[in-house]
Amino acid sequence: MADPARVYLETTIISYLTARPSRNLRVVAHQEITADWWIRRRMSFELYVSRLVVEEAAAGDPEAAARRLATLHGIPRLEVTESASDQATSLVAHAAIPLEATEDALHVAVAAAHGMDYLLTWNCRHIANAAMRNRIADICAAGGFEAPVICTPEELLEY
């Protein structure tokens, strides 16, 4: 029997999972898909986060932050290594991820440096962006890493 795939949870997953119901239809859809994935599929994977995810989850409204942090409890944390930091710098320097989204580059780099199979996110602007996936993969490969499959919970559901 094969080991379960390893999934790096980017902060948007925890945010959608724990947020109060939205009135925005797209946000509601993301919340429902995320909850569905969490209930039906998360046990099929080894889940990981990083210090960066924990820091981002702890920010903002104290009540919402407490819900996010409680959800993260018990999920192993990956170290932000020097090689991951260097890879993030390379992702930004080669315009795979914009300078103003350096934290997003670090999420990708940590996942790649630790050999994650998937990076799960709702950040479709800078991370799960089809126009940038190949560039991200090429830059990770140039740095000696295999990029994880970057996807949303909807893409990682099995119907």
| pLDDT for res 158 | 75
| pLDDT for res 2 | 76
Give the residues of the chain that fall short of pLDDT 70: 1, 159
| Residues 125, 131: Cα–Cα separation, whole Å | 10
| pLDDT for res 159 | 59
SS3 readout for the chain: CCCCCEEEECHHHHHHHHCCCCCCHHHHHHHHHHHHHHHHCHHHCEEEEEHHHHHHHHCCCHHHHHHHHHHHCCCCEECCCHHHHHHHHHHHHCCCCCHHHHHHHHHHHHHHHCCCCEEECCCCCCCCCHHHHHHHHHHHHHCCCCCCEEECHHHHCCC
Which superfamily is assigned to 6-156 in CATH?
5'-nuclease (3.40.50.1010)
Q: What are phi and psi of 78, to 5 degrees?
A: -90, 140
- Domain ranges in the chain? 6-156
| pLDDT for res 77 | 98
